[in-house]
């Protein structure tokens, strides 16, 4: 078996940073998890408590919260690294067209509890949001699998 260089994930471009999770998906997840902290929100798109600088938050600050994260594509690697360091329980959404990338291989797959790939493509909201050309995944960390979103589930057996 030959080892190939991993994909750099260059599809994580800044023009997609403003895409927002469709409200219906967030509402279905929030019904189950009752999110108390939105890791990557700002004043204009917050859903609950948030920080204007998630990367400066330390683990103890989030101990009591179930967290939600829809990271900006251009900063996804750093955001997921920090998410798994400081969040005790949470769910994130991210593209899953290139699971061979360093982000998926070195960060998400090593730390997540489960991955749910929803049936059908997600139509994002916000700035130029539209039906995506790539599949999306919900990524869980120390929480139960979603009850209200249907798709294929991968569980991590660490």
Q: Is the pLDDT score of 67 beyond 50?
A: yes
**Gap between the Cα atoms of 43 and 29, Å rounded:** 21
Q: Where are the alpha helices (DSSP H) in 48-120?
A: 76-86, 102, 109-111
pLDDT band at 1 (very low <50, low <70, confident <90, very high): very low
Query: Buried b vs exposed e over 72-107: b needs ≥16 C-beta within 10 Å?
Result: ebebbbebbbbbbebbebbbbbbbbebeebebbeeb
**Gap between the Cα atoms of 8 and 86, Å rounded:** 25
Whole-number pLDDT of residue 133: 67
pLDDT band at 44 (very low <50, low <70, confident <90, very high): confident
Could you tell me which residues come within 8 angstroms of residue 99 by beta carbon, excluding any fewer than 6 positions away? Answer: 105, 109
Q: Give mean pLDDT, residues 72-84.
A: 93
pLDDT single digits (tens) 6-38:
444 455 566 565 667 888 999 999 999 999 999
Whole-number pLDDT of residue 45: 77
Q: Which domains does the chain have, with CATH numbers?
A: 18-155 (3.40.50)
Q: What is the mean pLDDT of the chain?
A: 84
Instruction: Copy the structure tokens of residue 123.
Output: 């139509």
Across 27-36, 82-91, 128-137, least confident range: 128-137
Q: Give mean pLDDT, residues 49-61.
A: 87
Whole-number pLDDT of residue 20: 73
């Amino acid at each position: 078996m030959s080892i190939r260089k991993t994909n750099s994930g260059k599809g994580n471009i800044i023009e997609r940073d403003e895409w927002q999770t469709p409200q219906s998906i967030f509402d279905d997840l929030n019904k189950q998890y009752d999110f108390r902290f939105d890791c990557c929100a700002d004043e204009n798109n917050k859903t609950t408590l948030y920080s204007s600088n998630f990367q400066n938050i330390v683990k103890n600050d989030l101990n009591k919260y179930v967290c939600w994260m829809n990271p900006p594509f251009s900063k996804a690697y750093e955001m997921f690294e920090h998410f798994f360091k400081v969040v005790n329980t949470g769910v994130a959404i991210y593209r899953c067209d290139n699971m061979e990338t360093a982000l998926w291989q070195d960060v998400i797959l090593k730390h997540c509890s489960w991955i749910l790939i929803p049936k059908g493509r997600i139509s994002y909201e916000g700035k130029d949001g539209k039906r995506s050309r790539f599949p999306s995944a919900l990524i869980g960390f120390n929480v139960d699998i979603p009850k209200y979103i249907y798709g294929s589930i991968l569980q991590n057996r660490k």
